[in-house]
Structure 1
Amino acid sequence: MFIKKMDIVLIGTNYKRSPLAIREKFSFSKKTLEVTYKRFLEEKVLLSCVVLSTCNRVEIYAEVVEPLLGKSYLKEFLSEYLGHNEIDLSNYLYCLENESAIGHLFRVACGLDSQILGEKQILVQVRDAYLYSKDFWKASDYLDKIFNKALEVGKRVRQVTRISEGNVSVATVAIRLLEEKLGALGNISILIIGVGKISQLVLRYLKERDIKAVIIANRTYDKAKAIADDLNYKVVGFDRLYEELRNVDAVISSTSSPHLILKEARIREVVGIRKNPLFILDLAVPRDVEESARFIPNVMLYNIDNLSCIIEENLKKRREEVALAESVINEEIKGFLKTLWEKNALSLVQGKAS
């Protein structure tokens, strides 16, 4: 029962299908995303497109001339994006089209496909990805309707269910892991690298707990200083990162850098002159900290995939809401597709009459 002349395809990967080591290779920075959109504009098989790139997923939603051609092109593009290396993409990618692609987007917007079930941030990320795509593409009637409806459904599901209740986020889970490994936060010093959304949430929770020994570092010093001054925390430049590692007990890093921020050799040097173990939590995708650093004695290195066990413990109540959320989504999908079909049928009749 799908709408004539409308073909939507989705190709992507997420935390369920690929480990962090693979996922970070797919991630798009703002710069690479801009280049990608400009390239997509030149492809006749793509009529419009939205790229959703977060720490836990990379998905390309496209209105295409023909589904097989569209999926084939996007697979080839991702293979090239990864440098045509020997990774077998078929092990990590999922490909959906039309109703299945729309249903998937609705579930993503509702937080049902998130590592943290019901998370609120994904709704903002879907909205931002959609709006950013409009800077490059002429308005697509189909994708506009699909993404606007996804945002509407995401809000409705959170209103009629308790899928997003409770204070569970990457930031809160990160702090809980920190407490589990190092004990009371009031007794430790913490270096926060980066001042993006996750880092700012971490900083807010630390401030709420009246944790005072916090240092903020960011590549843009003035931005870090403004946040540090507001919270009454210390700020340092990126050129002093390794110097600060000599004294702090913990590091939480979450930047958008495409390159490593902390390298194994330099961390090894610093740890060699420290007395106490160093806890490092790398929440960035791509990662900020060189993976081999986890093998340095007295270094405890964790990344975003290592948070899964703690997340599971905190999501029991939310899981009780999944069935209700799914029923709401299914109802919305049926109504949405019916409306599209009726509008399309009417336009065809009117076209013939004229």
Structure 2
Amino acid sequence: MKAIVQDRYGPPDTLKIADVEVPVPAADEVLVRVEAAALNAYDWHVMRGDPRMARLTMGRSRPRARIRGRDFAGRVEAVGTHVRQVRPGDAVFGDLGDANGAFAEYVCVPDALVAPMPANLTPQQAAALPLAGITALMGLCDVGRVESGHHVLVNGASGGVGTLAVQLAKVIGATVTGVCSTRNVDLVRSLGADHVVDYTRDDFAHDTRRFDVVFDLVGNRSLTALRRVLTPSGTLVLSGGGVYRGGSLIGPVGLIARGRLLAPFVRHRIVILTTAPGRQHLDTLRAHAEAGRLTPVIDRTYPLHEVPRAMRYLEGEHARAKVVITV
């Protein structure tokens, strides 16, 4: 089969299309014929080996997983002997987690990491949901504890996670303020945001409004700035950070580490978001999508052999929402 492989850390040109063996599913795995896959900031970080400290877990000189990509949608080709949830021919979507391997014609996935594809979405839309959607769900619900009537600020509202977080927060019944650049103001407003802050013109840290939850998806502001707009009992959710320019030793880990150290000594809740793929959250995303409450936004699509070009766009052009690969 064709797959996008990487044998060393570096720029998009280190990603190559190659012929590799079709994987064989283990007893608890599903073999999926991939129809679409999605790029995430995570994929950029693995490609670059950035921040460098993360190489302690990703692999010192090259990524441990040779094939890139973690979000996918497609059809089941075969199942392991212990699999009962899906059958060959089923349309499914999922997130491989740190295992990677979605930028390929076929991928083996643990049964627990796949779910039926939303019936009203295309494979490209379904592939755009898993990691970004799970991050948004966990940030808002699992750790942010957003409730109806809350005021929520999403910093990075036009990104892959942000576009879904705005919609999900509205589903919960929150009043949502999205932070984005000028060219994305109309997009964020169209997703349901009650207020939109154009960061090129205004600084949300000096806004007179106060928020019950600040969901930071960028990692470009200090803890002081982020906490300044919280209510006295508000919650700050820190979620890594996206694609940024230049190499880094610790990247957004620095902000997260400071947040972790500060959390016990301040009245605000400061929580560090860590995500884990799984069927439960995928089922929730499917339910929202099929009910018309959640629609993935796709910026551009590229064929499999143009993954390096897609990655260059992701890291250099401030991609809005999701960049998707068709296979």
Per the shorter chain, which TM-score range? 0.3 to 0.5
TM-score by length of 2: 0.47
Larger helix fraction of residues: 1
Q: Which has the larger radius of gyration?
A: 1
Larger strand fraction of residues: 2
**Relative contact order, higher structure (CA 8 A, sep 6+):** 2
